[in-house]
Amino acid sequence: MYPMSRRLPAALAAVLLAAPAWSQFSAQEFGAEKKDPAAYTLDEKSVTIERVGPAVRPDAVMPPPPSSGGGGFGLPVLDQIINTGLKIWKIIADNKPVVDVNTQYATALPKGLTGWTDLAGWQPPAGDIYEFSAKNLYGVKVVDVRYEVLRTYGGSYNGTGRYLTAVTIQPLAVDVVWGYRFSMESSVPDSSIVNVGSSADPIAGMTAQVGWRISTVLKDSSGQSLYFLQGDGVMREVGGPFQAAQLARAKAAADAIPSTAAGKPANFD
């Protein structure tokens, strides 16, 4: 019995360490959720993301410092577009904003550059504001988050091409009911960087993924939204719990873009 009793704490510790972080709730939260499960159970059908408008003062956001890794030296390869910034980064953790938009961002730049300052003609930073909301089984809103999709676009090399830098997500307001945990992160896979222009006049394209997670003692839910951004300033929602009208407008905008020598942007049906 004695050896077993000594092994039990170690085994229990291993289980606790293996448990996901979202399950580490307080004793008060465990008790409250046991007494009223519906209050602490997310209604996944209630999750919505709605565009509420452009940023009030997007020009107040300064472009970030140059990236140090452009992928080479000498002349850039204008139609080979790469992300020299981050591939994945946290936006909100445990109900608190954690992102630094000045250093945590993605880019879509020509291969061979030392940084975004090698390009000229950048437009003022632009932003679109979205509201993420979710309710419990009583229909009470338990998560209300506003965030901004930021980007700086239009940079060109000797007048050729249009590229992206400083693509990131900035939380503006985070309101989460007690007993819930909310987190959000952004990712830009290498495969999401494309040229939606031509070889002679490239236009950078990027799919930014914004993943979210809502957890309680009783339930753990997750999902993501997708945004397609271009170096000419075009941005549209292409996937996620958006209002149907938003996705319809985004699809119409995508369909309206003419074909180029390199083909037209992906079909998001």
Please, where are the H alpha helices in the chain? 2-18, 27-35, 244-256
Mean pLDDT score of the chain, rounded to an integer?
A: 81
This model's pTM is above 0.75: yes
237-250 confidence digits (pLDDT tens): 988 777 555 555 55
What's residue 170's pLDDT?
A: 94
Of the candidates 218, 225, 80, 100, the one whose C-alpha atom is nearest the C-alpha of residue 161 is: 80
Burial class (CB in 10 A: 0-12, 13-18, 19+), 245: exposed
Residue 4 pLDDT > 90: no
Residue 132 main-chain phi, psi, to 5 deg = -105, 130
Task: State pLDDT tens for residues 188-213.
Answer: 999 999 999 999 999 999 999 999 99
- Per mean pLDDT, which range of 1-5, 138-142, 202-206, 227-231 is the poorest? 1-5
Higher pLDDT, 193 or 18: 193
pLDDT at 19 over 50: no
Per-residue model confidence (pLDDT) at position 139 = 97
**174: closest CA among 147, 148, 135, 140?**
147
Residue type, 14: A
Residue corresponding to tokens 């940084």: 115
Q: Which of 161, 171, 54, 157 is nearest to 115 (CA)?
A: 157
pLDDT for position 164: 96
User: For residue 21, is pLDDT > 60?
Assistant: no
